[in-house]
Structure 1
Amino acid sequence: MSKTFSLTITKVDEPVFTGEAQSVAVPGVAGDMVILAEHEPLISPLRAGTLSYVDAEGNEHSLETTCGTLEVAHNRAIILL
């Protein structure tokens, strides 16, 4: 089984996903990024594009974003859209 990390994706008016994930790919302003378990701490603005993640069971999910913020620290990623 792949290593996982805590992932929270939320919009202003509704939560999108909260749980364990194997990976999340985001459209960063400086370029696309993939976050995995034990990633170094990071804060980055996000641009419009496709955000995709693989949950702990290996299921792939994706959604379109217009902008947002990513914060990664202590084996946890928080995405505010």
Structure 2
Amino acid sequence: MILEIVSPEASLFKGEITSITLPGVDGSFQILNNHAPIVSLLQKGTVKITAPSFKFNKETAALFTKVNDQNYTLAISSGTIEMKDNKVIVLAD
């Protein structure tokens, strides 16, 4: 599936991923390939991204923390997520 993370300042990431775990307002939840369409609010916490490989913009790479070669995290204050047709869009603050 495709993930796009956008903040008010810039597009932070766009690429192919295998899963994403998000800090929802009712608790943490994970999205995998072919997930049902969903729109949800996010709270302060950590977004965990799993992908076969990562390519970051030079300007935004410092915002992500490397766990290992296939896992990165991103701290957010709040946001919104939409999953539809195997594309995840995260609007993050």
The TM-score, its normalising length taken from structure 1, stands at 0.90
Cα deviation per residue 1:32-53 (whole Å; 9 max; x = unaligned)? 0101100000000000001110
Alignment of 1:72 onto 2:68: no
Alignment of 1:22 onto 2:18: yes
CA–CA separation in structure 2 for the residues paired with 1:9 and 1:55? 14
Find the residue that maps to 2:18 and give its secondary structure. Answer: strand
1:50 equivalent in structure 2 = 46
Alignment length (residue pairs): 77
The runs of 5 or more residues in structure 2 that have no matched partner are: 54-68
Regions of 4+ moved over 2 Å = none
Pairwise CA RMSD = 1.0
Cα deviation per residue 1:6-28 (whole Å; 9 max; x = unaligned)? 10011111111101001110000
Moved more, 43-52 or 55-64: 55-64
Q: CA deviation at 1:59?
A: 1.6
Find the residue that maps to 1:13 and give its secondary structure. Answer: coil
